[in-house]
Amino acid sequence: MSTSVENSIAIHTLIENRWSPRAFSNESVSDEQMEALFEAARWAPSAMNEQPWRFIYATKEDEAAFKQLADCLVEGNSWAKKASVLFVSIAKKSYDFNGDPNAYAWHDVGLATGNLLLQATELGLHVHLMGGFNAAKAKEVLGIREGFEPVSMGAVGYVGDPESLPENLKAREMAPRQRKPLNELVFKGEWK
């Protein structure tokens, strides 16, 4: 499987080893492991230390709660129902201290989620984030409060056998991972 990072500059192995699988094994992820992931998320930086992130998760063992989350996924993300845990990240749209809109809320939910992904990698787990879900449905069925907005969903588990996937997904699972070159993304001094 070509899941490794091809780069000439050394980066942290946790970043190198993180990737988003579609094939998950049947092995369970415990509440304790999930707690470690959320603890890592909790220590992310945020504008005004607002900590605008919230998470709702369900393990497969809790069938009813897991189904509620799974039913929010779009058809194309059905592979995620094999994962041991599903979660949704949620942004608080305004600041606690003055009620003004928090322009950094989604940014900071992303930072917290990034921490969560690296902690998962440290524990030998994988997370696949998904924007393909019905946010309106998630708000309704999960009881997400006024002033909060779902950001993304995540599937958490141990990597499974790509052979277990349908042909189209298997091809994507095996394809080399690609990134834009640094010189397209970073400019020194001014935009060139």
Using CB under 6 A, pick the residue from 56, 91, 118, 130 that binds ligand FMN: 130
Neighbouring C-alpha atoms within 13 Å toward the C-beta of 38: 16
Using CB under 6 A, pick the residue from 77, 84, 89, 119 that binds ligand FMN: 77
Closest CB to ligand FMN among 29 and 130?
130
- In the stretch 32-71, what mask flags binding to ligand FMN with x, by CB under 6 A? ----------------------------------------
Element at 157 (helix H, strand E): strand 148-157
Which DSSP symbol is given to 177? Answer: P
Q: At what angle do helices 31-42 and 105-122 cross, to 10 degrees?
A: 130
Contact indicator for 10, 113 with CB cutoff of 8 Å? no
Using CB under 6 A, pick the residue from 44, 106, 132, 162 that binds ligand FMN: 132
Site for ligand FMN in 134-153 (CB under 6 A): 152
- In the stretch 7-26, what mask flags binding to ligand FMN with x, by CB under 6 A? ------------xx------
Contact indicator for 7, 178 with CB cutoff of 8 Å? no
Taking the chain, what is the end-to-end CA distance rounded to the nearest angstrom? 36
The binding site for ligand FMN (CB under 6 A) comprises: 19-20, 77, 129-132, 152, 177
